[in-house]
Amino acid sequence: MRVNKLNDLEAKKWLQFTKTWFVHNPPRRKKNEVLHPAKYPEGMVEEFIRFFTKEGEVVFDPFLGTGSTLVACHNSQRNGIGIELQEKYADIARKRIEDLQSQLTLTEDGARDLSKQLVIKGDSSKVGKLWDDLKLPEISCVVTSPPYGMMLQKKGLASAKREEEGLDTQYSEDDLDLGNAKTYDEFLDRLVDIFVEIKPKVKVGGHLVVILQNYMNKGEYITLPWDFAGRLRKHFQFRGERIWCQDNKTLYPYGYRYSFVPNVHHHYCLIFKKLEEDKEKIK
């Protein structure tokens, strides 16, 4: 019998995951999660973690936000490490993990969940030094949803609603925040540089799952996932995408009666793989 080297899934679940699109409608956010303007659902993240890792392996999120990736790691018995630039979101992530760990009970055989979750308040552009200083382990999989360029700086119906409710409409005013990049090219360069910085810490054969979305900006449709994939494939092998569709989002009358303006209700979950260096040179 051949050994499954990638994950702990049975054949049927493996096959189901390889479908290139899926519908996932996130449950309503909890009060402490609503503050963050772009949280992604733990249940969906957990499916990617279970496919690209085995129990006990290390998952890393360089844009942690309120900690969804670490919650998914906890639920799937993986060890999670996350870096978050903003203290207010890092604090929420720590509290969520503390609450989960406080609920752990002894299993029938007397063992406890041995997975560990680590929240680091820091700058992911310096991830190499952070990893070395803290003597952190090798990464099996990176799962993250980075800032969508300058998307959150747009003024629209959705952002106006959040503003009325006193919620964040962008991550911060911090210059280190990628969402505050001055130009689209600068944003892409800085984003790709972070993944290049992460690369030496990822094991050979390890995967990256990067969740991004196209969006409209001043009449132009910005193809962020496509542009990002074109640049990052110079450093990692591009394996394809899974398209995450949502059909419970509000429809807004963008462009009504004068022009087609899409309500973008899908995201690209881009999948990359780290190859051995000699194979990369041959490509």
In this structure, is residue 48 part of a structural domain?
yes
pLDDT in tens, 148-187: 766 555 555 444 453 554 544 454 577 778 888 889 999 9
In this structure, is residue 240 part of a structural domain?
yes
pLDDT category at 282 given cuts 50, 70, 90 is: very low
- Range from 17-21, 38-42, 220-224, 254-258 carrying the lowest mean pLDDT: 38-42
DSSP 134-190: HTPPPEEEEEE----TTGGG--SHHHHHHHHTT--SSS-S-TTSGGG-SSHHHHHHH
In this structure, is residue 238 part of a structural domain?
yes
In this structure, is residue 11 part of a structural domain?
no
Domain of 243, CATH number, reads: 3.40.50.150
Q: pTM of the full predicted structure?
A: 0.86
Count: domains in the chain: 1
Q: Which residue has the higher pLDDT, 83 or 166?
A: 83
In this structure, is residue 245 part of a structural domain?
yes
Note down the domain range covering 117. 19-102+113-165+177-282
In this structure, is residue 252 part of a structural domain?
yes
In this structure, is residue 216 part of a structural domain?
yes
pLDDT in tens, 6-48: 999 999 999 999 999 999 987 765 655 445 455 689 999 999 9
Helical spans, DSSP H, in the chain: 11-17, 31-34, 42-52, 68-75, 87-102, 127-134, 157-164, 184-198, 224-232, 277-282
